[in-house]
Amino acid sequence: MKKFIFTARDQQGKMIAGGEEAENADALVSRLQLRGLLVTNIKAQSETESPALSKSKLASGAHKFSHHRVKEEDLCLFGRQLATAIGSGVPLLKSLDIITRQAASKRLFDVLNLVIHDVESGLSFRDALAKHPQAFSSLWVNLVETGEASGNLPLVLERLVVYLEARAAFKRKIFSALIYPIVLTLVAFGAIIIFLTVIVPKFVTIFEGFRQKLPAPTVILISVSNLLTKNFFFIFIIFCGILYLLKYYARSKPGKARLDRFVLSAPVVKEFFRLSEIEKFSSGMSTLLESGVPILFSLEIAERSSSNGVVQDIIRSVKESVREGKPLVGPMEESGFFPPMITQMVNIGEEIGELDKMFKKISAFYSEMLETKITRLTMLFEPIMIVFMGVVIGGMVISMFIPIFSIANIGGGG
């Protein structure tokens, strides 16, 4: 019989530490599970702590990793594997160790090593994840805390992974729908630049032999072509500089605030961004409430999850009203951001005690609506862009051939 030291959480979420004898670690884990305990750490008493050199490497790794994000697909796979392992009765630390050894992502491998080290040092799994916000969002941290406290960590992780996979699939659909119009726009502007910098100069050499005044459209086009060809790199640098300044301003506090207001009020795009924020809010609230996270904490996480400052202010206002004891539907109606259909469904959900299911239905409805909107926009964009290319490039071609047609007419008349 060996003596093992363990840490575990009871059904109320209280941390328990102790030591018992058992034939092996698995036997002790099974015994503790029968008592309703969730084992978070177990090791033989004879085992020593990690060497100082290993700790220093972990610390340096933490500093190196802190500026990088882990890919969503890697986090989804990690969550799925961890839920399966813990659900099969494998202790948390052993599960983390197995998954870390198999991790294909170097960034995930580094951060999981740090998490293992922190859990071995006595931190809860929730606190260990919270030290790496670039990898694990507040949604991860709070759901793991809920899972640890309730003793249903595998189930909570499964729900989290389902949510993350749905978000990733949704983003892929949006990206796929936007690829074609983006490519079409780039091709259009590329064709215009090539025409101005390559084709027009060849016509200029032909026009030099003409002994007549060129039409105004042709003169303007040649002037634009000369400006581009003679100052191409200078114009390119200015263009890149303007893009950088705009990006820098958009990241600043006043710039971001103005941009957030603009995207929710600008024609054409405002409905897209509004639907996107509503869908994200609803899907997040559904997952959080379904996993047992209290309504106030759920609203706080939803507030931090939004990237739009205007929406954050709205959710914060809703949260403060709920904190004062008001029903959720009241402040949502007062905000003017949520359509009546949503507030009515939330009201029903509060009355029957199924708010999480109502948010799930809202999320599904708005996800489908958003996809439909994007499909329609892309279908509308295609003919508009084709007409634009035809008018602009066709106009430039005609401007170049007008002098040639004039010479031909003069020659024919003579």
| Token code pair at residue 112 | 């999981």
Q: Are residues 36 and 76 in the same domain?
A: no
Q: Are residues 81 and 125 in the same domain?
A: yes
In a domain, 156, yes or no: no
Q: Are residues 63 and 129 in the same domain?
A: yes
Q: Which one has a higher pLDDT value, 11 or 248? A: 248
| Confidence at 345, pLDDT banded by 50, 70, 90 | very high
| Token code pair at residue 235 | 């114009």
Q: Are residues 75 and 131 in the same domain?
A: yes
295 close to 322: Cβ distance less than 8 angstroms: yes
Q: Are residues 19 and 62 in the same domain?
A: no
| Confidence at 376, pLDDT banded by 50, 70, 90 | confident
In a domain, 129, yes or no: yes
Which of 136, 165, 188 is at the close of a domain?
Answer: 136
Q: Are residues 22 and 74 in the same domain?
A: no
In a domain, 62, yes or no: yes
In a domain, 305, yes or no: no
User: What mean pLDDT do residues 335-345 have?
Assistant: 90
Q: Are residues 26 and 57 in the same domain?
A: no
Q: Are residues 16 and 56 in the same domain?
A: no
Give residue 5's pLDDT. Answer: 76
Q: Using alpha carbons, list the distances in angstroms from residue 16 to 41, 45, 61, 147.
A: 11, 17, 30, 16
Give residue 348's pLDDT. Answer: 93
Give residue 374's pLDDT. Answer: 82
For 98-135, the pLDDT digits (tens) are 998 888 888 888 899 889 988 888 888 988 998 888 88
Give residue 60's pLDDT. Answer: 46
For 275-316, the pLDDT digits (tens) are 889 998 998 899 889 888 888 888 988 888 888 999 999 999
Q: What is the percent of the chain with per-residue pLDDT over 70, rounded to a whole number?
A: 89
User: What mean pLDDT do residues 1-27 have?
Assistant: 74
| Token code pair at residue 293 | 């996270």
Which of 136, 166, 187 is at the close of a domain?
Answer: 136
Q: Are residues 29 and 76 in the same domain?
A: no
Give residue 56's pLDDT. Answer: 42
**Domain assignment of residue 110, given as a range:** 52-136
For 146-169, the pLDDT digits (tens) are 888 777 888 889 988 888 888 888
Domains contained in the chain, number = 2
Name which of 7, 346, 282, 303 is nearest 142 in CA terms. 303
Q: Which one has a higher pLDDT value, 87 or 33? A: 87
In a domain, 147, yes or no: no
In a domain, 78, yes or no: yes
224 close to 196: Cβ distance less than 8 angstroms: yes
| pLDDT of residue 67 exceeding 50 | no
In a domain, 310, yes or no: no
Q: Are residues 57 and 109 in the same domain?
A: yes
Which of 91, 121, 136 is at the close of a domain?
Answer: 136
In a domain, 275, yes or no: no
For 273-285, the pLDDT digits (tens) are 898 899 989 988 9
Q: Are residues 67 and 130 in the same domain?
A: yes
Q: Is the pTM of this model over 0.75?
A: no
Q: Are residues 72 and 107 in the same domain?
A: yes
| Confidence at 65, pLDDT banded by 50, 70, 90 | very low
From its phi and psi, is residue 151 left (phi > 0), alpha (psi between -120 and 50) or beta?
left
Q: Using alpha carbons, list the distances in angstroms from residue 176 to 138, 148, 278, 280, 330.
A: 28, 38, 21, 19, 38
Q: Which one has a higher pLDDT value, 49 or 267? A: 267
User: Exposure string (b/e) for 5-14, b if CB count within 10 Å is 16 or more?
Assistant: ebbbbeeeee
CA 49 to chain centre: 38
For 187-232, the pLDDT digits (tens) are 888 999 999 988 888 888 888 777 678 888 888 999 999 998 888 8
Give the residues across from 5 on adjacent strands.
19, 43
